């Protein structure tokens, strides 16, 4: 049974508590490794190491920091297959998905910020003949990065890369549900020659190791992705300490389909945006609104396709639907399907746990589920389910669908399908979300601002937004 270790001060070390807890294999529901049960003592060791490394790292030429991040990106690329297998085993997602989405994106994240930092410039303001102002963007110091279980290495690296590129030293905690690829990354950091203490990875429970990171007075900024409720708690801790906070939280994203859309393209992509990663992506479109003339054609064609999406062994090359990430999450998703039935919904397909054969029979599999007949403002359509469950609803006018789409507390992403150019732009303009995809989904340019409004978060990641988050601006005014 493999034991994972914290990565602190450039070394793989035991947790101070000398205790570990179970890490599960979602495909079989069994324990397959052990995670360090870290606490504030481990976080203190990590902060000490980060503090000691900061002077050298923050004054290292950006080209040198860039070289190390680029080397790390190359090592992830070299170990892509190993990391994809590990990600699939730890999260339950199909290995095919980890191989084409998760790990390549981790490669891109480090590569992108290794180069972005070389082009990150600031501004100057001349006051005619009297003075010149220039803006310095200095690294903050020791920062915290806390990431979730749905896209483990993808989101872990999305935070760490800009933090390091900007010259900060990092104390990072992956989700205790999916720690494996962060642990494997530790080994690659050592191989890449990352200076000791620049990146420290502390494994453990959110309420213990995670809370200790947020509470630590020397951690001046925290970048978090996870649940809205957790984010609110984290903000309550950090705000009175005047820490910078980036919060990427939950979503309940509308997928708006007008009758004039490119039907085949829409259907193919809607299957993806509904069920990719078993629906466990904060950007998935879980509320599907279809203009009434197209509703029945869409419903019948969509359900037909969804019925062909069979949950299977994530390790099999042909699997497109894997296991959900944990027993608790499976039960949460199944409870929402039950709620949908109680709220008057009709389950058109799926709706139950799938029991596979052999060692997989104790795995956590849910059949992809499509539900119709629910009111747009019922709990099923207002609360984040974060599993392979979508609802479909007809609409008659643009005003009506915008009211329904904007009716939740969330505002992360939205998808719009129409060939009507001005309508596409008008609807995008009126949607309460941080990201709008028109006639596509999850098409990502890493330079773009990424994040949500309302209960979907605060701040933006991506491109220079991320480098600005991980630096402090200082204006220097020089009298001429
Ligand atoms: O998130 P949590 P989980 C949603 C989704 C899911 C729900 C909870 O609805 O069901 O959030 O998922 C750490 N101080 N999303 O359990 O609990 C925790 O250890 C500091 C949307 O993953 O928020 C983990 O590393 N840290 C999301 C991270 O926070 C704490 C993706 C996320 O855990 C902490 C995943 C604390 N007090 C879930 N408590 C998205 N937007 O993509 C927990 N953590």
- Which domain CATH number covers 182? 3.40.605.10
101 DSSP 8-state letter: I
Going by C-alpha positions, the residue among 57, 17, 21, 61 that lies closest to residue 38 is 17
**What is residue 122's predicted lDDT score, i.e. its pLDDT?**
96
Contact 246 CB / ligand 1 (< 6 Å): no
Please count the structural domains in the chain: 2
Contact 178 CB / ligand 1 (< 6 Å): no
- Are both 28 and 134 inside the same structural domain? yes
- Are both 327 and 421 inside the same structural domain? yes
- Are both 154 and 230 inside the same structural domain? yes
Question: What is the full DSSP assignment across 311-337?
Answer: B--TTSTT-SB---S-HHHHHHHHHHH
Contact 211 CB / ligand 1 (< 6 Å): yes
Q: Tell me whether residue 110 is in a domain.
A: yes
- Are both 433 and 468 inside the same structural domain? no
Contact 248 CB / ligand 1 (< 6 Å): yes
**CATH number of the CATH domain containing 403:** 3.40.309.10
Q: Which atom of ligand 1 is nearest to the CA of 176?
A: 19
Q: Tell me whether residue 427 is in a domain.
A: yes
CA 340 to chain centre: 26
List residues with catalytic annotation. 248, 282
**CA-proximal residue: ligand 1, atom 39 (nearest):** 206
Contact 385 CB / ligand 1 (< 6 Å): no
Q: Tell me whether residue 447 is in a domain.
A: no
- Are both 49 and 93 inside the same structural domain? yes
Q: Which of 38, 42, 206 to mutate to test the pocket of ligand 1 (most atoms within 8 A of CB)?
A: 206
**What is residue 3's predicted lDDT score, i.e. its pLDDT?**
98
**What is residue 129's predicted lDDT score, i.e. its pLDDT?**
86
Task: Assess contact for 155 and 283: CB atoms under 8 A.
Answer: no
pLDDT tens by residue, 274-296: 999 999 999 999 999 999 999 99
- Are both 158 and 298 inside the same structural domain? no
- Are both 262 and 117 inside the same structural domain? no
The pTM of the full predicted model, rounded to 2 decimals, is: 0.98
- Are both 396 and 363 inside the same structural domain? yes
Q: Tell me whether residue 445 is in a domain.
A: no
- Are both 269 and 294 inside the same structural domain? yes
**CA-proximal residue: ligand 1, atom 13 (nearest):** 206
Q: Tell me whether residue 279 is in a domain.
A: yes
What sign for the dihedral angle of Cα 287, 460, 106, 116? positive
How many angstroms does the Cα of residue 67 sit away from the middle of ligand 1?
Answer: 32
pLDDT tens by residue, 262-271: 999 999 999 9
Structural domain containing residue 127: 2-249+454-479
Q: Which atom of ligand 1 is nearest to the CA of 248?
A: 41
* pLDDT band at residue 50 under the 50/70/90 scheme: very high
* pLDDT band at residue 253 under the 50/70/90 scheme: very high
Contact 40 CB / ligand 1 (< 6 Å): no
Q: Tell me whether residue 315 is in a domain.
A: yes
pLDDT above 90 for 128: no
Mean pLDDT of the chain: 98
């Amino acid at each position: 049974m493999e034991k994972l270790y914290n990565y602190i001060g450039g070394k793989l070390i035991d947790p101070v508590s000398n205790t570990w807890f179970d890490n599960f294999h979602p495909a079989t529901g069994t324990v397959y490794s052990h995670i360090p049960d870290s606490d504030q003592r481990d976080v203190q060791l990590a902060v000490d190491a980060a503090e000691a490394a900061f002077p050298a790292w923050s004054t290292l030429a950006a080209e040198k920091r860039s070289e190390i991040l680029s080397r790390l990106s190359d090592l992830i690329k070299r170990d892509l297959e190993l990391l994809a297998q590990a990600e699939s085993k730890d999260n339950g997602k199909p290995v095919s998905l980890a191989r084409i989405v998760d790990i390549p994106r981790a490669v891109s994240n480090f590569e992108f910020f290794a180069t972005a930092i070389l082009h990150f410039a600031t501004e100057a303001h001349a006051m005619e003949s009297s003075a010149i102002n220039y803006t310095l963007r200095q690294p903050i110091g020791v920062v915290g990065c806390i990431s979730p279980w749905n896209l483990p290495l993808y989101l872990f690296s999305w935070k760490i890369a800009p933090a390091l590129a900007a010259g900060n030293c990092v104390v990072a905690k992956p989700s205790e549900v999916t720690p494996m690829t962060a642990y494997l990354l530790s080994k690659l950091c050592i191989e890449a020659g990352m200076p000791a203490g620049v990146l420290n990875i502390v494994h453990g429970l959110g309420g213990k190791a995670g809370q200790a990171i947020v509470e630590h007075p020397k951690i001046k900024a925290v970048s978090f992705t996870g649940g809205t409720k957790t984010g609110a708690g984290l903000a309550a801790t950090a705000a009175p300490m005047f820490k910078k906070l980036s919060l990427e939280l939950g979503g309940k994203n509308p997928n708006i389909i007008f009758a004039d859309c490119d039907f085949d393209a829409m259907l193919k992509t809607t299957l993806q945006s509904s069920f990719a990663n078993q629906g466990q992506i904060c950007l998935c479109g879980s509320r599907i609104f279809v203009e009434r003339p197209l509703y029945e054609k869409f419903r019948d064609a969509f359900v037909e396709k969804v019925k062909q999406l069979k949950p299977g062994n994530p390790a099999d090359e042909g699997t497109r639907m894997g296991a959900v990430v944990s027993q608790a999450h499976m039960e949460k998703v199944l409870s929402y399907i039950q709620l949908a039935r109680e709220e008057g919904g009709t389950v058109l397909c799926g709706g139950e746990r799938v029991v596979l054969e052999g060692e997989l029979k104790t795995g956590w599999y849910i059949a992809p589920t499509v539900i119709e007949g629910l009111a747009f403002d019922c709990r099923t359509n207002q609360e984040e389910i974060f599993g392979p469950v979508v609802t479909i609803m007809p609409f008659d006018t643009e005003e009506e669908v915008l009211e329904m789409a904007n009716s939740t507390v969330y505002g992360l992403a939205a998808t719009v399908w129409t060939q009507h150019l001005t309508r596409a732009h008008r609807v995008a303009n009126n949607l309460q979300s941080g990201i709008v995809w028109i006639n596509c989904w999850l098409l990502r340019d890493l330079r773009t601002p990424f994040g949500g409004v309302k209960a979907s978060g605060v701040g933006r990641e991506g491109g220079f937004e991320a480098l600005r988050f991980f630096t402090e601006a200082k204006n220097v005014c020089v009298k001429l």
